[in-house]
Structure 1
Amino acid sequence: MIITTAGRTTDIFIREAQVLAEQYHFPYVERKGVSVEQLKKRYHTDVLVVGKNRLNLSPQELQTDVFFHPNMAMVRAKRLLKGEGDPFIQATGLRSGMSYLDCTLGLASDAIIASIAVGPSGVVTGVEGSFPLYLLVKEGLQHYQSANAAINTAMKQIEVKHAMHLQFLQHTETNAYDVIYFDPMFEERIDTSDGIKGLRSRSITEAITEHTIAEAKRVARKRVVLKDHYKSKRFAEFGFEQQIRKTALFHYGVIDVY
């Protein structure tokens, strides 16, 4: 991967791109009016673009960018802050002061909601196996500025780890987190957006096995939760109690361990 700036940039963003390149040990390349597509062809790699209030990851083989943005999490977060319900919170049972481990962080939508639910006294950790997505989300959570201070605080509270989730679980103490969460790529496809296609191109799909769930049950103090397509066989295969949602294409499954 190489790191560069947006086409129209400032000294501030140039320095930010240079700092990221130094921190993560990737080359910094001056833009000099060259398009991102040309940079990808010239360097045969992904391009991370530093712009105003956001980072864009442009995968080498795609014309679609992946970027960090709270997106629908913002709508859910505002509802949650108003005291409205959220199916994810109902499934996880998260409340103030609890600890939460997201084993499939992705773009951190659920982790943001979890962080709001557990509040400043809680703990939220997200694990991401893909280094490009890890970098994108870690930096995005720290630097994205919304108009809502509570959401900004919640995003900054999330600790992002670069690791495969089974390995992370194996090296985590027993009863370390109240809730362990899995949101794997669905076996049944329900998405069509270009952004999701770009995300899939840089995701690392780590299989969820009996061993994975056994480790999650060891590490969890209260509950293990799985989000999956409503037709998924993983609910029954791994012993999750599937919570039926008649109008939703995805369901939550719960294993209580206390």
Structure 2
Amino acid sequence: MNFVITTGYHPTAATEQAAREFAQQLNVEFVARNRNSLAAIQKNFHVDVILLFSKQGPLIYTDDGNYFFHLSMADLRIKNLKNGKHDHMINAMQLQPGMSVLDCTLGLATDAIVASFATGPSGKVTGLENSLLLAFIAKAGLSGFIGESPDITAALRQIEVIQADSEKYLCHVPDESYDIVYFDPMFRQPIQSSSNLKPIRLLADKRPVSLALLAEAKRVARKRIVLKEMQGSPEFERLGFTQFVGGKYSSVQYGIMEVQH
């Protein structure tokens, strides 16, 4: 993935220094913004993606839209949990305070945030993201975003982000290290109404869960593996998921695989 790094029109000295240092670290070209539009930079440097360092935080610019860290549906889902309503993912995981979750497909970090809230201060949520840029945005947002309430902010800070290929990473994780191993792979057939996903489809790892990766997940999970897919997806049958949780009219479904050691 070719990209360049730039800043907003009037960056602070700290923002520009951070952008230059990150570009040097990645061996990626830093482009002084001056008066250039992002579209002009994109055209002049023949790239599809620009990583923009701004005073508000990092932003990814693409032809399909911009992506920056935000709570997305995590905010509403956490409010629902506080009001005693159920959450299909939490039900599928059977999450309780103090449990540990390995999210192998962090992406927007929405599910990881909800899981972190449910597991509480004594819990542990680790998010793996293969995309360098998505991992960077997630890590910056989870460490810097301030939620409406202290418990939401605490849930963000408790998530550990690791930029890694999940299959390669799991090979080095000891047996039964996490209560839950979770997968939310990029859907092969995108949900067209989900505009939040449009700018990241270019960046995200689109590979489905492999049987080799599932085998590693079975070894690493203490309790169960949960797979999020579209309702009725053939991926469930291919991978051997036979238990399901999901709303009758929901476009997504959670497959559950109990682990026996």
Calculate percent identity across the aligned residue pairs.
39
Q: For each residue in 1:182-237, what CA deviation from the matched residue of structure 2 results, as whole angstroms up to 9, or x when unmatched?
A: 11122333234554221111111223122221211111000100111112012222
Match of 2:36 among 34, 37, 42: 34
Contact 1:100 1:177 in 2 (8 A): yes
Mapped partners of 1:147, 1:245: distance in 2: 28
Where does residue 217 of structure 2 map in the other structure? 216
TM-score normalised by the chain length of structure 2 = 0.90
3-state DSSP class of the match of 2:182?
strand
Q: CA 1:198/1:151 → structure 2, altered by over 3 Å: closer, same or farther?
A: same
Match of 1:53 among 48, 51, 56: 56
Mapping of residues 181-192 of structure 1, within 5 Å:
181-192=182-193
Mapping of residues 16-31 of structure 1, within 5 Å:
16-22=18-24, 24-31=26-33
- Is residue 2:232 matched to residue 1:231? yes
Q: CA 1:120/1:23 → structure 2, altered by over 3 Å: closer, same or farther?
A: farther
Contact 1:65 1:195 in 2 (8 A): no
Q: CA 1:107/1:139 → structure 2, altered by over 3 Å: closer, same or farther?
A: same
TM-score normalised by the chain length of structure 1 = 0.91
Q: For each residue in 1:153-197, what CA deviation from the matched residue of structure 2 results, as whole angstroms up to 9, or x when unmatched?
A: 211211111111111111211101000001112233323455422
RMSD: 2.0
- Of stretches 157-166 and 240-249 in structure 1, the one that deviates more from structure 2 is 240-249
* Unaligned residue ranges in structure 1 (runs of 5+): none
Where does residue 168 of structure 1 map in the other structure? 169
Where does residue 132 of structure 1 map in the other structure? 133
3-state DSSP class of the match of 2:65?
coil
3-state DSSP class of the match of 1:111?
helix
- Is residue 2:161 matched to residue 1:177? no
Contact 1:4 1:17 in 2 (8 A): yes
4+ long deviations beyond 4 Å: 22-25
- Is residue 2:155 matched to residue 1:154? yes
Mapped partners of 2:97, 2:165: distance in 1: 28
Q: For each residue in 1:104-143, what CA deviation from the matched residue of structure 2 results, as whole angstroms up to 9, or x when unmatched?
A: 1111000000111111211111111111111111112111
* Unaligned residue ranges in structure 2 (runs of 5+): none
Where does residue 103 of structure 2 map in the other structure? 102
Contact 2:180 2:223 in 1 (8 A): yes
3-state DSSP class of the match of 2:202?
helix
Contact 2:186 2:208 in 1 (8 A): no
Q: How far apart are 1:19 and its partner, in Å?
A: 4.7
Mapped partners of 1:92, 1:172: distance in 2: 20
